[in-house]
Amino acid sequence: MEIADFLAPRIHIVCGKGGVGKTTVSAALALVAARAGYKVCVAEIDHKGSLPRLFGASEPSYEPSELSPGVWALNVMPEDALAEYLEVQYHMKRVSKVLTSTHFTDYITTAAPGLKDILVLGKIWYLEQNRAPGGRRYDFDTIIVDAPAAGHMITFLAAPMGLADAVQVGPVKRQADWLIEMLTNPARSIAHLVTLPEEMPVAETLETSQKLDDELGVSQGVTFANGVYQDSLSDEHLALLTKPSSLQSCADSVGLRLDKEDFDALNGYASFLEARSAIQAKHLRVLAKSATRPIVRLPHLFGSGLTLPDIETLADEIEGKLQEL
């Protein structure tokens, strides 16, 4: 698959169970697009604001800010989305500041379930339409949506459909229809699922994929199997960890002396990696058997915290494996 074909839809919704690496994959996809010459905006849909830290930047705001060449990001907060909606649609700039405090937004979104999701999706629509308050215009080629965790994601994407059913006429109905068309038009939007090769994430990924097909009609692209040990260490590397003589030869070459405790620790670590790889392989087989979309495996990255070089490594992996599809 050519990168240009993969990036043909402007909106890429990255979905998955909490903790599987959605934000990491979103960041890597942003780099893939930026390397191809696209101007990219990543929209985080919650308040965690973790994506900028992967690029060594500060917390994001509601307005897009550049994290690295070609990669921009923003954090979509409902109160700001409501203020923008009132200003763009009804030119109520002064009133919007009064009506969109956090407490007021919480009050009206509690009274109207799904409205918070509508406001957030509306911001994605504005990004796609290159519209902003005050006559300003966005000019992003690709919009990557770091979606809510899978438990909320289905209701998040289904919100416009619920609103369209509840309101049959008028501007609100038209705006709901705009969002539905945006999400269900494969030329405009596509969803990518992210999972770990573990029992619960795989099961939830398959369930989410079916709901995207059967209930929402949202097109799906690639399923990313994240954190795969087999793609991090080769069989040769694992075998090396169990051979003291070979290990010592490697250590000698860099002036390091290993004692028996070191060998025991490395041997135990090798056993752990072999066991984890076997467990992951089992769940990857389940995923491959039931998944209806291409699967891209991403390696487990060893370290205490991910940084930009790690994201670049994942972007390299994604680029190479997409071209193999």
pLDDT on residue 106: 58
pLDDT on residue 135: 67
pLDDT on residue 134: 63
Per-residue pLDDT of the chain (325 residues; tens, 9 = 90+): 999 999 999 999 999 988 899 999 999 999 999 999 999 999 998 666 788 888 888 777 788 899 999 999 998 877 777 777 666 665 555 544 555 455 555 545 554 556 778 888 988 998 999 877 666 778 999 999 999 887 788 889 998 888 787 777 777 788 889 999 999 999 999 999 999 999 999 999 999 999 999 999 999 999 999 999 876 667 777 777 767 777 778 888 888 888 888 888 888 887 888 889 899 999 999 999 999 899 999 999 887 778 899 999 999 999 999 999 8
Question: From residue 219, how far is each of 38, 222, 236 by CA, in Å?
Answer: 22, 10, 40
* 278 domain residue, yes or no: no
Q: Is 109 in contact with 116 (CB distance < 8 Å)?
A: yes
Reading the block at residue 321, the tokens are 């494996």
pLDDT on residue 111: 47
Q: What is residue 36's three-state secondary structure?
A: coil
Question: From residue 288, how far is each of 37, 233, 283, 285 by CA, in Å?
Answer: 32, 21, 9, 5
> In this structure, how many other beta carbons lie within 10 angstroms of the beta carbon of residue 62?
15
The residue type found at 299 is P
* 253 domain residue, yes or no: no
* 98 domain residue, yes or no: yes
Reading the block at residue 262, the tokens are 């070191």
Q: Domain range holding 203?
A: 3-232+292-324
Q: Going by DSSP bridges, is the β-strand pair 40-44/189-195 parallel, antiparallel, or unpaired? A: unpaired
Number of domains in the chain: 1
Against a cut of 0.85, is the pTM above it?
A: yes
23 contact partners, CB below 8 Å, separation of at least 6: 44, 48, 50, 51, 54, 146
* 243 domain residue, yes or no: no
* 261 domain residue, yes or no: no
pLDDT on residue 37: 96
Q: Is 86 in contact with 99 (CB distance < 8 Å)?
A: yes
Q: Is 162 in contact with 176 (CB distance < 8 Å)?
A: no
Half-sphere exposure of 182 (CA within 13 A, CB side): 25
pLDDT on residue 96: 47
- The CATH number of whichever domain residue 310 belongs to comes to 3.40.50.300
Nearest residue to 25 (alpha-carbon basis) of 50, 60, 56, 8: 50
* 57 domain residue, yes or no: yes
* 28 domain residue, yes or no: yes
